[in-house]
Structure 1
Amino acid sequence: MKRSAKWLGNLGVLVALAAGLVVWIMLPRWGVLAVAVLLGLWLVLTRSGRLALAATRVGIASLPQRWGASSVIIVGIAGVVGVLVAMLAMGEGFAETLNRTGDDDTAIILRGGSQAETNSVISRDQVPLVSSLPGIAQGSDGRPLLSPELSQVISLPSASDGSDVNAQLRGVGPKAWEIRPQVQLVEGRRFEPGLRELIVGDGAHQQFSGLDVGNTITIGNQTWTVVGRFESGDSHESELWADAEIVASTYNRPAYQSITARLAGGGMQALKAAMAADPRLKLDIETTRSYYSKQSEGLTKLIKVLGTVIGAIMAIGAVFGALNTMYAAVAGRAREIATMRAIGFRGLPVVVAVMLETMLLALLGGILGAALAWLVFNGYTVSTLGSNFSQVVFSFRVSPELLWSGLKWALGIGLVGGLFPALRAARLPVTTALRAA
């Protein structure tokens, strides 16, 4: 009966610790600041706090004598923070790349109920109907700024190992340049309508081989010439652009997949209302910012979940490393702790002192892991599959928010890893500790 009660009590403590760790990691900055201020006031203004500070200084002074064991905590927690921040930086970089692709001044039109271009079909006779609707901006020639487009997944050799990987060939209309002014040529020229010519994004140029300006490549059993390279600072840099009509004829595509249009002032509501009033246009419309943000949600959530799970698994290992190290430290300092207890240090100052020492080591590990993640991964360029199963080139983004989250994880691990050794130090009988030493 006593054994069961003890087991249930230990289980309750573990559950409470896990819940507390979750709350701590989710705590906003003002909450962490409030906790730090309250702890600082307690340490400075109360007798127990001042005793805890004195005991902490004694423990920190002895760290050089057990630096090897203490480094286990630092390295373990640095690994947790580094991996966690790197994983989350990948998701944040992917989301930021897609979020930069759209804005609130352009709209994308898809077939009603379609979630992406890949499952959308817009017939050719619907294009002139859409172009005559209100809400679409006019170009310098007085014509509507809209581009009927289609997307084709093609296979190209990877620049890294030569293996075939998916790429996105986008067929665009003549107005695509005015609709997307962020697309700027950095080499070569634009493709000529009616010819099998390509311009390639800078990300695609890095990701795939054979895309230098002047090269010819085979796509859809046809020979295409690369005539230009562009930068856009968004996911379009992962694409190859060509004349929509030539892409359609090459792949026998009788319809388009989407229409991208630049909106006039307040044009979204007018365009949406006009489309809804025409029964021939069973189409959906949203801003490109909203569309590309939705495209990134799934993968971003997956990366965040995987990063958190992997970080949690590694955190468990780091907690056990901290437990072993601090238990050994408490055992090695048994006489020192017993002496402090004998001269008037109560249990609470001893507990706080051991935990502060552990959290200091954890903070050092967190800073080390965060610094390594920032130095190694911030701006590191990779590619992954987008919603159309083509490669999207993007860069890791190690933001201050991610570094802050990593430090909170480090302190949380230190809190859990130092608690039980701290309680053991406080409960250590003075006479037993002095005899054992």
Structure 2
Amino acid sequence: MSKTKRFFSGLLTIVVLVVALVVWIVLPWFAVAAIALAVAAWLAFTRSGALALAATRIGIAGLPQRWGASSVIVIGIAGVVGVLVAMLAMGEGFKATLSNTGGSDTAIILRGGSQAETNSVITRDQEPLVSNLPGIRRGADGRPVSSPELSQVVNLPSKADGTDTNVQFRGVGPSAWALRPNLKIVEGRRFTPGMREMVVGRGAQHQFAGLEVGKQVRLANQAWTVVGAFESGDSHESELWADVDVLGPTYQRSAYQSVTVALDGKNGFKQLAAALAADPRLKLDAMTTHDYYAKQSEALTKFLRILGIVIGTIMAVGAIFGALNSMYAAVAGRSREIATMRALGFRGSPVVVAVMLETMLLALLGGLLGALVAWLAFNGHTVSTLGNNFSQVVFQFRVSPALLWTGLKWALGIGLVGGLFPALRAARLPVTEALRAA
């Protein structure tokens, strides 16, 4: 029976620790600031607070003698924060790359109900009807700024390990350059319409082999010449571009997948959407390009966030128990010191706060170390992953201040929970027994 009780008692302790950590993590920054100000005021303006500060100074002064146990807490929490921030930074980087693609002044038109270009079809006889719809801006030559496009997934060897990797080969119309003004040719030139030439994004160049300007790439049993490289700061940097009227026949594609258009003023999108809905021949939907690419990032970003939190929680539970063991050992080793303070008039609350502050200080050091390592190792690190079109999207990890703050909250939460039970034990330590044992 005692074993059963101990089992359920231990299980209840784990549940309490996890719940306490979750509650702390979800607190908004102003709630954390309010708690910190309340504790600071108590320490500064009350007698118990002054005693707690004095006891904390004594504990901190003894940390060098307990560097082994202290380093367990610091390193354990640093590991949790480093892994958590790195996982979340991956999701943030992917989301930022796709969110930076497109804008509110352009729209992408897909087949009705399609979630991505890969499952959309726009026939060639529909394209002239689409391009002349109201809401689409016209250029200086009086023609609509419209680019019929298709996307073909091709395989290229990865520079990392030489394995075949999916890459998006995009066929674009003449207006594609005007629709993406942030896209700049940084080496070579644009492809010549009607020729089997391509330009490649810098991100694709860095990740995949054989894309240097001047080289030829064999795709669909045809030789394509790389004539230029471009930068755009968004997901298009992961792509290869060519003339849509050359790419389509090469892959026996008789239809387009999307039409990207420039919108005519603030009401352009409303006019375009209304015109599409009113024409039963088309059965097409439109979205602003910003909304379309932001939507493409939702699923993976959510998955990476959940995965990071799950892994972080598992590691955090381990770090909490490491902190518990270390602080229990520290309290046991300082039993005579704590008993002496109690005999001198230190009540339970100052002792509890002193042990808690000591643990929180170690947790803060671990959090700062983990955040620093994550920032130095991962911020700006370039990787690629599969996007919704089953091709690689090249992006950079993004370690933002918000993520660093999240990591520090986790660190302080681990310290808060990990120091609670040892602090309560220290406060309940019988003075006479502790002095006699010492």
State the TM bucket, normalised to the shorter chain. over 0.9
Alignment partner, residue 61 of structure 1: 61
Is 2:67 aligned against 1:81?
no
Q: Which digits, 9 at most, give the CA deviation of each residue in 1:111-145, with x for residues without a partner?
A: 00000000000011111101111111111221101
- Check whether the contact 2:154–2:219 (CA below 8 A) recurs between aligned residues: yes
What amino acid sits opposite 1:300 in the alignment?
T
State the secondary structure of the residue aligned to 2:100: helix
1:162 Cα deviation from its structure 2 partner: 1.6
Alignment partner, residue 378 of structure 1: 379
Alignment partner, residue 95 of structure 1: 95
C-alpha separation in 2, matches of 1:359 and 1:273: 58
Alignment partner, residue 337 of structure 1: 338
C-alpha separation in 1, matches of 2:5 and 2:248: 73
Q: Which digits, 9 at most, give the CA deviation of each residue in 1:375-405, with x for residues without a partner?
A: 1111011111111111110000000000000
C-alpha separation in 1, matches of 2:7 and 2:345: 33
Q: How does 1:38-53 map to 2 (within 5 A)?
A: 38-53=38-53
What amino acid sits opposite 1:223 in the alignment?
A
Q: Which digits, 9 at most, give the CA deviation of each residue in 1:62-82, with x for residues without a partner?
A: 111111220110011001000
Is 2:242 aligned against 1:242?
yes
C-alpha separation in 2, matches of 1:203 and 1:73: 40
1:6 Cα deviation from its structure 2 partner: 7.9
Is 2:26 aligned against 1:30?
no
Q: Which digits, 9 at most, give the CA deviation of each residue in 1:51-95, with x for residues without a partner?
A: 111111110111111112201100110010001001100000000
Q: How does 1:211-222 map to 2 (within 5 A)?
A: 211-222=211-222
1:270 Cα deviation from its structure 2 partner: 0.5
Alignment partner, residue 204 of structure 2: 204
Compared with structure 1, are the counterparts of its residues 17 and 68 closer, same or farther at alpha carbon in structure 2 (3 Å cutoff)? closer
Compared with structure 1, are the counterparts of its residues 4 and 154 closer, same or farther at alpha carbon in structure 2 (3 Å cutoff)? closer
Q: How does 1:165-244 map to 2 (within 5 A)?
A: 165-244=165-244
C-alpha separation in 1, matches of 2:34 and 2:236: 44
What amino acid sits opposite 1:140 in the alignment?
A
Alignment partner, residue 363 of structure 1: 364
After the TM superposition, which parts of structure 1 deviate over 3 Å for at least 4 consecutive aligned residues?
1-17
State the secondary structure of the residue aligned to 1:218: strand
C-alpha separation in 1, matches of 2:331 and 2:85: 32
C-alpha separation in 1, matches of 2:269 and 2:129: 16
Alignment partner, residue 429 of structure 2: 428
Q: How does 1:196-345 map to 2 (within 5 A)?
A: 196-265=196-265, 266-345=267-346
Q: Which digits, 9 at most, give the CA deviation of each residue in 1:188-216, with x for residues without a partner?
A: 11111111100000001111111111101
State the secondary structure of the residue aligned to 1:261: strand
C-alpha separation in 1, matches of 2:96 and 2:363: 31
Q: Which digits, 9 at most, give the CA deviation of each residue in 1:318-349, with x for residues without a partner?
A: 11111111111101101000001111111111
State the secondary structure of the residue aligned to 1:228: strand
C-alpha separation in 2, matches of 1:9 and 1:87: 33
C-alpha separation in 2, matches of 1:5 and 1:386: 50
State the secondary structure of the residue aligned to 1:37: helix
C-alpha separation in 1, matches of 2:151 and 2:430: 74
Q: How does 1:395-406 map to 2 (within 5 A)?
A: 395-406=396-407
C-alpha separation in 2, matches of 1:263 and 1:159: 39
Alignment partner, residue 391 of structure 2: 390
What amino acid sits opposite 2:172 in the alignment?
V
Gaps of 5+ in 1: none
What amino acid sits opposite 1:115 in the alignment?
Q
Compared with structure 1, are the counterparts of its residues 354 and 342 closer, same or farther at alpha carbon in structure 2 (3 Å cutoff)? same
TM-score normalised according to structure 2 size: 0.97
C-alpha separation in 2, matches of 1:11 and 1:383: 41
1:161 Cα deviation from its structure 2 partner: 2.0
1:10 Cα deviation from its structure 2 partner: 6.3
Percent identity reads 71
- Check whether the contact 2:102–2:180 (CA below 8 A) recurs between aligned residues: no
- Check whether the contact 2:20–2:417 (CA below 8 A) recurs between aligned residues: no
Gaps of 5+ in 2: none
State the secondary structure of the residue aligned to 2:194: coil
C-alpha separation in 2, matches of 1:287 and 1:378: 30
Compared with structure 1, are the counterparts of its residues 46 and 8 closer, same or farther at alpha carbon in structure 2 (3 Å cutoff)? farther
Q: How does 1:129-144 map to 2 (within 5 A)?
A: 129-144=129-144
C-alpha separation in 1, matches of 2:413 and 2:193: 60
C-alpha separation in 2, matches of 1:276 and 1:2: 71
1:8 Cα deviation from its structure 2 partner: 6.2
Alignment partner, residue 412 of structure 1: 413
C-alpha separation in 1, matches of 2:347 and 2:336: 15
Compared with structure 1, are the counterparts of its residues 2 and 206 closer, same or farther at alpha carbon in structure 2 (3 Å cutoff)? closer
1:5 Cα deviation from its structure 2 partner: 7.7
Compared with structure 1, are the counterparts of its residues 157 and 12 closer, same or farther at alpha carbon in structure 2 (3 Å cutoff)? closer
Is 2:348 aligned against 1:350?
no
1:244 Cα deviation from its structure 2 partner: 0.5
1:357 Cα deviation from its structure 2 partner: 0.2
TM-score normalised according to structure 1 size: 0.97
C-alpha separation in 2, matches of 1:208 and 1:383: 10
C-alpha separation in 2, matches of 1:303 and 1:26: 18
What amino acid sits opposite 1:363 in the alignment?
L
- Check whether the contact 2:18–2:317 (CA below 8 A) recurs between aligned residues: no
What amino acid sits opposite 2:338 in the alignment?
I
Matched residue count: 437
State the secondary structure of the residue aligned to 1:101: coil
- Check whether the contact 2:78–2:370 (CA below 8 A) recurs between aligned residues: yes
1:153 Cα deviation from its structure 2 partner: 0.3
1:4 Cα deviation from its structure 2 partner: 7.5
What amino acid sits opposite 1:49 in the alignment?
G
What amino acid sits opposite 2:107 in the alignment?
A
C-alpha separation in 2, matches of 1:11 and 1:184: 59
Alignment partner, residue 71 of structure 2: 71
